[in-house]
A and B are shown apart, each in its own frame.
Chain A
Amino acid sequence: SHDYHFGLEDNEGISELFDCD
């Protein structure tokens, strides 16, 4: 219902962003 642009790929998430993969 909103037009936010999601930029993370399937292999990216909060774990990778905080360097915890």
Chain B
Amino acid sequence: PPQTPVRAAMSSIQQLRVDLTSSGDQPSAVLAVYFKNCTLDPTGEILQRVERLGQLFSQMFDQAVGLRCVGLGKQRFTLGVRLYYRVMEAMLKSEEKRLSVQNFSKLLNDSTFHTSLLACALEVVMATYGGTSFKNGGYSGGAGAPAETDLGFPWILDVFRLAAFDFYKVIESFIKAEPTLSKDNVKHLERCEHLTMETIAWRGDSPLFELLRLTHEEGPGEQVEPPST
């Protein structure tokens, strides 16, 4: 049969579900070992964070799509969590090989890292369901539209109160760690990168300005230009 946007989206959703069938909603045995190898075991914090962000995500999602879709947010979040744990495991394996260390205590106790990684996983799930067309300067549309037109990037950053600059940091490693990502999803994440670099990271309240200021204070250099410039 001829390919239509809806058929293509249904196929992508089905593929994502198949890819995540073997991944659990909880950290795998391999991840549990990485957690135990930490100087400070992050297991409790990680599970609590997922629980807290899950409630927040579902609440904001259901609020955005309306009463007729209550419960849908939780389903999407569950898929996102599976992808989050799966990519985290692949990232740690890759880092272990690259750095020859097994103690990732600092990284695994970094709340910003986890929130960014989970946000990236959810962005992939949302893009798979919602398509990847531009609308009103962000992303939205596709098979999930029009009910989900407000859920495109950077919606997730607002929900998790995450700086675009931090979200940006996980994208490349995420793509490297998840070779089954569809071409469309890779393209979507690449567009999130571009949108961040071109506009979002340079908004007045971005932590980037403070980081640049600190960097300049540490060494000789020019004054950081104000956001308006």
Contacts and interface: CB of A to CB of B under 8 A. Distances in A.
Interface string B72-114: 0000000000000000000100110011000010110010110
Contacts, number: 47
A14 B183 contact: no
Interface in A1-21: 1-2, 4, 6-8, 10, 13-15, 17-21
Contact of A18 (B94, B110, B183, B189): B110
Interface of chain B: mostly helix, strand, loop or mixed:
helix
Contacts of B106: 18-20
Nearest to B94: A13
B187 A2 contact: yes
Interface in B163-186: 169-170, 172-173, 175-176, 183, 186
Contacts of A19: 106
B62 interface: no
Contacts of A6: 172, 175-176
A4 B173 contact: no
A18 B95 contact: no
Contact of A14 (B170, B186, B187, B189): B170
A14 B173 contact: yes
25 contacts: A1-B183, A2-B183, A4-B175, A6-B172, A6-B175, A7-B172, A8-B172, A8-B173, A10-B98, A13-B95, A13-B99, A13-B173, A14-B91, A14-B107, A14-B113, A14-B170, A14-B173, A15-B99, A15-B104, A17-B169, A17-B170, A18-B113, A18-B169, A20-B104, A20-B110
